[in-house]
């Protein structure tokens, strides 16, 4: 159980908060590259870790992430002109480059001294894996950019998307690390009794701490001593990596892709979920039909989104369009879409759940371990230390995997070749 005080430390992410200072020591997903597709394109509003920011791709093709307001009279730079290596405020024409320097102050001609002293907040960025990442922490503590395997996958073998979730990052992250709920929340065919998660609805969990966070193993009995084993990764502070079985009847074989999520806090009560999906190797590219099929399966396909946003049409306002008849006959939740099911349960807890009222069990070991690691990392940063997992060498060679093992078979030896990065 988490105390009320610990819950505050874990869930508040604004500037100066314990968790906020921890998160700022890692590179954060700020926007998808597709949101700023070309040089001098329109700027994009960004809210990240409780800060209102602006993203724009300048004339050099570099994405800037700056304060959302002009320091002159605090006018919104969103309405400004993205031109000639900077953003120019539409109110009085003050202009700022991607480093936050004021490069033109037309209302104060000849006042070079004033121009030299006026700056706006600007955070360094890198583009990796179709995402613009930003570092928002102390400049002298900036680590190298992240180097997860999926960030190295060529564009034709990966799909990345983004979804808005109306709750605190932590309950969303906890949902991603909870393997037991798939037997219920994601039971989309109640007649398919042969699926491992339906044959054994009480997985055994083993959590193994690492330099980047932990890996954990979920074991489900398949009968006769055979087992279905899933090896997940939790990468500090906000990422889950997982594999998947391609089919559950007939030949049991690995999925054609690996998946994962990064839960980037917008503020205390909302989150952007960055979803990634890539092939095991370079055998078969992911075409557009595959990308759409994947998104539709998870409930975030083109027709599932409110146009012009990353928000689902099925949401709190309409009870996620739950179908009670479908709930009785086929889908356990009555809600269509894997991630939509997650959102209904996670958002339904409220913006920030009161964890002091929980009653945790053995299948919550991964969640308990994650919370403990975050609290220890918060303490370390407050004491002037470094948090775990910021160095790319801790996470650049890992990948998840799951599969079946026969009675007496050592899953570690069988899985070992598959749990090393191939890109």
List pLDDT tens digits, range 105-143: 999 998 899 999 999 999 999 999 999 999 999 999 999
Average pLDDT along the chain: 94
CB 176 within 8 A of CB 240: yes
* DSSP string covering 20-38: HHHHTTSEEEEEEGGGS-S
Residue in the block written with tokens 């490069």: 103
**What is the chain's alpha carbon radius of gyration, rounded to the nearest angstrom?**
23
Regions of the chain short of the pLDDT cut 70: 193-194, 244-256
Write down the pTM of the prediction: 0.95
Q: Is 253 exposed, middle or buried (0-12, 13-18, 19+ CB in 10 A)?
A: exposed
Q: Which domains does the chain have, with CATH numbers?
A: 33-125 (2.102.10.10), 149-419 (3.90.380.10)
Q: Strand ranges (DSSP E) for 146-238?
A: 158-165, 204-209, 213-223, 226-235
Per-residue confidence (pLDDT) for residue 199, from 0 to 100:
80
SS3 call for 376:
helix
Per-residue confidence (pLDDT) for residue 281, from 0 to 100:
87
CB 112 within 8 A of CB 120: no
Q: How far is CA 28 from the centre of its chain?
A: 9
Q: Which of 89, 257, 60, 12 is nearest to 158 (CA)?
A: 257
Q: Provide the Cα torsion 14, 173, 135, 9; round to 10°.
A: 30
Per-residue confidence (pLDDT) for residue 403, from 0 to 100:
86
**Tokens matching residue 369:** 């371990």
Q: How far is CA 213 from the centre of its chain?
A: 15
């Amino acid at each position: 159980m988490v105390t009320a005080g610990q819950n505050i430390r874990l869930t508040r992410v604004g500037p100066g908060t314990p968790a906020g200072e921890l998160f700022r020591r890692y590179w954060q997903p700020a926007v998808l590259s597709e949101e700023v597709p070309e040089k001098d394109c329109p700027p994009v509003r960004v809210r990240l870790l409780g800060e209102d920011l602006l993203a724009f791709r300048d004339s050099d093709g570099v994405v800037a992430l700056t304060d959302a307001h002009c320091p002159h009279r605090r006018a919104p730079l969103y309405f400004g002109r993205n031109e000639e290596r900077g953003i120019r405020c539409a109110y009085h024409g003050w202009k700022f480059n991607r480093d936050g320097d004021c490069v033109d102050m037309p209302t104060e001609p000849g006042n070079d001294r004033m121009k030299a002293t006026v700056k706006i907040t600007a955070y360094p960025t890198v583009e990796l894996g179709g995402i613009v990442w930003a570092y928002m922490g102390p400049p002298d503590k900036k680590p190298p950019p992240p180097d997860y395997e999926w960030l190295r996958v060529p564009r034709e073998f990966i799909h990345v998307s983004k979804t808005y979730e109306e709750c605190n990052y932590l309950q969303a992250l906890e949902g991603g690390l909870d393997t037991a709920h798939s037997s219920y929340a994601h039971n989309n065919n109640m007649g398919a009794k042969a699926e491992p998660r339906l044959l054994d609805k009480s997985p055994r969990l083993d959590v193994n701490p690492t330099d980047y966070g932990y890996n954990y193993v979920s074991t489900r009995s398949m009968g006769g001593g055979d087992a279905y084993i899933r090896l997940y990764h939790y990468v500090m502070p906000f990422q889950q990596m997982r594999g998947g079985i391609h089919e559950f009847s007939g030949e049991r074989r690995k999925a054609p892709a690996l998946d994962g999520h990064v839960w980037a806090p917008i503020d205390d009560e909302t989150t952007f979920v960055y979803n990634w999906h890539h092939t095991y190797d370079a055998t078969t590219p992911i075409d557009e039909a595959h990308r759409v099929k994947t998104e539709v399966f998870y409930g975030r396909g083109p027709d599932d989104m409110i146009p012009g946003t990353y928000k689902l049409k099925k949401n709190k306002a309409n009870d996620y369009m739950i179908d009670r008849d479908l709930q009785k006959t086929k889908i356990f939740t009555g809600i269509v879409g894997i991630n939509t099911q997650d959102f209904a349960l996670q958002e339904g807890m409220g913006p920030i759940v009161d964890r002091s009222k929980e009653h945790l069990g053995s299948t919550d070991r991964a969640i308990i371990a994650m919370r403990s690691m975050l609290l220890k990392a918060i303490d370390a940063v407050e004491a002037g230390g470094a948090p775990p997992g910021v160095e790319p060498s801790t996470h650049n060679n890992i990948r998840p995997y799951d599969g079946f093992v026969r009675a007496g078979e050592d899953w570690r030896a069988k899985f070992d070749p598959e749990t090393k990065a191939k890109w």
